[in-house]
Amino acid sequence: MKRRSLLGTLGVAGVAGLAGCQGLPRLGASTTLGRLTVSNWDERESHRFGLRVDRDGETVHESTHTVESKSDDVLPGAVADCTWDPQDGEYVVAARVDGGEWQRFDLLDRVDSSPDCLTAAVDYRPDGPAEESFSVRVRADCAEFEGSVGSCGTDSAAQ
Protein backbone atom coordinates (compact mmCIF):
# COMPACT_ATOMS: atom_id res chain seq x y z
CA MET A 1 0.00 0.00 0.00
CA LYS A 2 2.80 2.44 0.79
CA ARG A 3 4.40 1.80 -2.59
CA ARG A 4 1.16 2.63 -4.44
CA SER A 5 0.71 5.81 -2.42
CA LEU A 6 4.27 6.85 -3.19
CA LEU A 7 3.87 6.14 -6.92
CA GLY A 8 0.57 8.03 -6.99
CA THR A 9 2.12 11.02 -5.24
CA LEU A 10 5.10 11.04 -7.61
CA GLY A 11 2.80 10.82 -10.62
CA VAL A 12 0.72 13.80 -9.46
CA ALA A 13 3.89 15.76 -8.66
CA GLY A 14 5.31 14.97 -12.10
CA VAL A 15 2.18 16.14 -13.90
CA ALA A 16 1.97 19.26 -11.71
CA GLY A 17 5.59 20.01 -12.49
CA LEU A 18 4.77 20.08 -16.20
CA ALA A 19 1.72 22.32 -15.79
CA GLY A 20 2.09 25.46 -17.88
CA CYS A 21 5.02 24.07 -19.85
CA GLN A 22 4.72 24.71 -23.54
CA GLY A 23 8.39 24.32 -24.21
CA LEU A 24 8.71 20.63 -24.87
CA PRO A 25 11.45 19.98 -27.43
CA ARG A 26 10.44 20.61 -31.05
CA LEU A 27 11.94 17.57 -32.67
CA GLY A 28 12.43 18.30 -36.36
CA ALA A 29 10.23 21.41 -36.33
CA SER A 30 11.03 23.91 -39.06
CA THR A 31 9.43 26.62 -41.14
CA THR A 32 10.30 29.28 -43.70
CA LEU A 33 10.39 33.02 -42.99
CA GLY A 34 8.44 34.74 -45.76
CA ARG A 35 8.50 38.38 -44.60
CA LEU A 36 9.91 40.57 -41.82
CA THR A 37 8.76 44.06 -40.82
CA VAL A 38 9.43 46.55 -38.02
CA SER A 39 7.02 49.22 -36.68
CA ASN A 40 7.72 52.22 -34.43
CA TRP A 41 4.98 52.98 -31.88
CA ASP A 42 7.00 55.84 -30.33
CA GLU A 43 5.03 59.08 -30.72
CA ARG A 44 7.98 61.26 -29.67
CA GLU A 45 10.84 60.38 -32.02
CA SER A 46 12.06 58.35 -34.96
CA HIS A 47 14.49 55.47 -34.36
CA ARG A 48 17.11 53.43 -36.15
CA PHE A 49 16.32 49.71 -35.94
CA GLY A 50 18.65 46.80 -36.50
CA LEU A 51 17.09 43.55 -37.69
CA ARG A 52 18.83 40.18 -37.82
CA VAL A 53 17.59 36.79 -39.01
CA ASP A 54 19.27 33.58 -37.85
CA ARG A 55 18.40 30.24 -39.41
CA ASP A 56 19.61 27.08 -37.67
CA GLY A 57 22.07 29.19 -35.65
CA GLU A 58 23.62 30.99 -38.63
CA THR A 59 23.01 34.68 -39.40
CA VAL A 60 21.40 34.92 -42.85
CA HIS A 61 20.24 38.55 -42.81
CA GLU A 62 21.17 41.86 -41.17
CA SER A 63 19.72 45.25 -42.01
CA THR A 64 19.18 48.70 -40.54
CA HIS A 65 16.04 50.80 -40.95
CA THR A 66 15.23 54.34 -39.85
CA VAL A 67 11.54 54.58 -39.00
CA GLU A 68 9.69 57.84 -38.30
CA SER A 69 7.69 58.41 -35.11
CA LYS A 70 4.02 57.43 -34.88
CA SER A 71 1.62 60.27 -35.62
CA ASP A 72 -2.15 60.42 -35.36
CA ASP A 73 -3.46 57.22 -36.93
CA VAL A 74 -0.31 56.46 -38.94
CA LEU A 75 1.97 53.67 -37.72
CA PRO A 76 5.25 53.96 -39.63
CA GLY A 77 7.32 50.92 -40.39
CA ALA A 78 9.84 49.28 -42.67
CA VAL A 79 10.00 46.00 -44.55
CA ALA A 80 13.28 44.06 -44.60
CA ASP A 81 14.43 43.01 -48.05
CA CYS A 82 14.31 39.22 -48.26
CA THR A 83 18.04 38.62 -48.67
CA TRP A 84 17.95 35.26 -46.86
CA ASP A 85 17.42 32.13 -48.91
CA PRO A 86 13.81 31.10 -48.16
CA GLN A 87 14.39 27.56 -46.97
CA ASP A 88 13.17 25.46 -44.07
CA GLY A 89 14.87 25.85 -40.72
CA GLU A 90 14.52 27.14 -37.18
CA TYR A 91 14.32 30.93 -37.40
CA VAL A 92 15.26 33.43 -34.72
CA VAL A 93 14.64 37.12 -35.34
CA ALA A 94 16.59 39.72 -33.36
CA ALA A 95 15.94 43.45 -33.14
CA ARG A 96 17.60 46.44 -31.51
CA VAL A 97 16.91 50.14 -31.39
CA ASP A 98 19.48 52.93 -31.78
CA GLY A 99 22.45 50.54 -31.43
CA GLY A 100 21.20 49.06 -28.13
CA GLU A 101 21.09 45.44 -27.00
CA TRP A 102 19.71 42.77 -29.32
CA GLN A 103 16.44 41.15 -28.26
CA ARG A 104 15.88 37.68 -29.73
CA PHE A 105 12.63 35.94 -30.66
CA ASP A 106 12.41 32.26 -31.64
CA LEU A 107 9.59 32.23 -34.19
CA LEU A 108 8.55 28.60 -33.67
CA ASP A 109 8.07 29.34 -29.96
CA ARG A 110 5.30 31.73 -30.96
CA VAL A 111 3.10 29.35 -32.97
CA ASP A 112 1.20 26.22 -32.00
CA SER A 113 2.46 24.11 -34.88
CA SER A 114 5.19 24.14 -37.48
CA PRO A 115 3.60 25.93 -40.47
CA ASP A 116 5.21 25.89 -43.90
CA CYS A 117 5.79 29.65 -43.90
CA LEU A 118 5.67 32.47 -41.33
CA THR A 119 5.70 36.25 -41.40
CA ALA A 120 7.14 38.22 -38.48
CA ALA A 121 6.25 41.79 -37.49
CA VAL A 122 8.51 43.37 -34.87
CA ASP A 123 6.86 46.16 -32.85
CA TYR A 124 8.77 48.75 -30.81
CA ARG A 125 6.95 50.37 -27.88
CA PRO A 126 9.30 52.51 -25.76
CA ASP A 127 7.13 52.74 -22.64
CA GLY A 128 8.19 50.39 -19.86
CA PRO A 129 11.37 48.39 -19.21
CA ALA A 130 13.90 48.24 -22.05
CA GLU A 131 13.77 44.43 -22.19
CA GLU A 132 10.03 44.63 -22.87
CA SER A 133 10.17 47.37 -25.51
CA PHE A 134 10.07 44.89 -28.41
CA SER A 135 7.42 42.34 -29.22
CA VAL A 136 6.95 40.18 -32.28
CA ARG A 137 3.76 39.05 -33.98
CA VAL A 138 4.11 35.83 -35.92
CA ARG A 139 1.51 34.66 -38.43
CA ALA A 140 1.24 31.79 -40.88
CA ASP A 141 0.03 34.10 -43.63
CA CYS A 142 2.76 34.20 -46.29
CA ALA A 143 0.26 33.85 -49.15
CA GLU A 144 -1.30 37.17 -48.13
CA PHE A 145 1.97 38.97 -48.92
CA GLU A 146 3.00 37.04 -52.04
CA GLY A 147 4.37 39.49 -54.61
CA SER A 148 4.49 42.44 -52.20
CA VAL A 149 7.57 44.35 -51.06
CA GLY A 150 9.79 42.21 -48.86
CA SER A 151 8.06 38.94 -49.71
CA CYS A 152 10.45 36.05 -50.17
CA GLY A 153 8.35 34.42 -52.88
CA THR A 154 8.54 31.01 -51.22
CA ASP A 155 6.92 27.98 -52.81
CA SER A 156 5.13 27.30 -49.51
CA ALA A 157 3.52 30.76 -49.62
CA ALA A 158 1.39 29.62 -52.53
CA GLN A 159 0.02 26.61 -50.67
Q: How far is CA 26 from CA 6, 29, 30, 41, 48, in A?
A: 32, 5, 9, 33, 34
Residue ranges covered by each domain of the chain: 29-151
- Render 25-53 in DSSP notation, one character per residue: --TT--BEEEEEEEEE--SS--EEEEEEE
Residue 92: how many CB atoms within 10 A of its CB?
A: 19
Judge whether residue 6 has pLDDT over 50: no
More confident position, 18 or 50: 50
Residue 135: how many CB atoms within 10 A of its CB?
A: 15
Fold of 29-151: Immunoglobulin-like (2.60.40)
Q: What is the pLDDT of residue 72?
A: 87
Q: How far is CA 9 from CA 6, 15, 21, in A?
A: 5, 10, 20
Distance of CA 128 to the CA centre of its chain: 20
Using pLDDT thresholds of 50, 70 and 90, give the confidence band for residue 60. very high
Supply the mean pLDDT for the chain: 82
Q: How many residues comprise the chain?
A: 159
Using pLDDT thresholds of 50, 70 and 90, give the confidence band for residue 8. low
Q: What is the pLDDT of residue 147?
A: 77
More confident position, 3 or 95: 95
Helices and strands in the chain, H and E counts? 2, 8
Using pLDDT thresholds of 50, 70 and 90, give the confidence band for residue 16. very low
- Per cent of the chain over pLDDT 90 is 55
Judge whether residue 133 has pLDDT over 50: yes
Asked if 114 contacts 108 with a C-beta cutoff of 8 angstroms, the reply is: yes
Q: Collapse the DSSP code of 15 into the 3-class scheme (helix H, G, I; strand E, B; otherwise coil) and give the result.
A: helix
- Taking 3-state DSSP, the helix, strand and coil percentages for the chain, each rounded to the nearest 5, stand at 20, 40, 40
**Model pTM?**
0.76
Q: Give all strands of the β-sheet with 134-139 in edge-to-edge order.
A: 77-79, 32-40, 117-124, 134-139
